Amino acid sequence: QVQLEESGGGLVQAGESLRLSCVASGSVVSINKWAWWRQAPGKERDLIASITNGADQNYADSVNGRFTISTDNAKNAVYLQMNNLKPEDTAVYYCVSRGFSDSGNFTNWGQGTQVTVSS
C-alpha cells in the first residue's frame, strides 16, 4: 500500500507565503504524476496544480504566477510553494499521486491540510 502524508498548512496573513509538502511512503515503485487540489468551505474540490514526469506543470488560472509545484523523486515528495497568498486561497489542500507500487497502479489522496489566509 501507498500512503500520502501532507504537512505545511497553517494560518497566515494575506501577502505571506507557505510551502506545503506531501510524501508518499509504502511500496512505491515510481510516481509519474502529482497534483494538488483544494476545497474551500461550501465549494467543490478544484484542481490547482499538477506535474507530470517531473517536468510538465499545469496551474489553475487562480494560482498561476503565485504557486509553484515541484517534486523530489528521491524522497517521493511533492511540494507546493504558495506566494502572495490571498484570503480566497483559504481551503483544505490535498495532494494526489499516481504511479506504480508493488501491487500495481495506484492513485492515492492525502488526508488534507488546512490553509487559512486572513485579510
Rounded CA separation 67/85 (Å): 9
pLDDT at 54: 84
pLDDT at 31: 95
C-alpha cell at 10: 497553517
- The closest of 17, 23, 113 to 72, measured between CA atoms, is 23
Q: Using H for helix, E for strand and C for coil, what is the string for 84-115?
A: CCCHHHCEEEEEEEEEEECCEEEEEECCCEEE
Q: Which residues of the chain have pLDDT under 50?
A: none
